[in-house]
Amino acid sequence: MTQYDDTVERQRLLLAAEEWGNGIRCLHSHRLSSMWYDTRPQDTENGQFVMDKQYNGGEIERTIYTSDGKDAGTFIFGKRKTGDDLIQEYTKNQ
C-alpha cells in the first residue's frame, strides 16, 4: 500500500492549497491608474474608485464604484494558479 503514499500526499497538498488560494492576500481601495497589474486605467476616471482584492491563488478581482458609491461592475486580472503551480506557491508561503 505504500506505493500510493506520494499520490495521497499530493492530493492532501492540493486540497490545502486550493483552500489557501481562495484566501485574500490584500485589499486596495483607490482611484489610482498606475497599479502594477492595471490594464484598465479607465476604471478610475471621472471620480470613480475601485476595490481590488488580490487572492493567494494569483488573480485580482476589481469591483468598480461610481463617484456616488454604487457598484458599476467587476473585472478579473490574471489567472488563478492550479495544480502543481498552486501547490508550489502554497508550500513557498507556508
Q: What is the pLDDT of residue 78?
A: 94
Q: Is the pLDDT of residue 47 over 90?
A: no
* Count of structural domains within the chain: 1
Could you tell me the residue range of the domain that residue 18 belongs to?
2-92
In this structure, are residues 81 and 57 in contact, taking their beta carbons and an 8 Å threshold? yes
Q: What is the pLDDT of residue 69?
A: 86
Q: What is the pTM of this model?
A: 0.85
pLDDT single digits (tens) 31-44:
998 888 999 999 99
Average pLDDT score, the chain: 93
Please give the C-alpha separations between residue 54 and each of 11, 13, 36, 68, in angstroms, as whole numbers: 25, 22, 12, 24
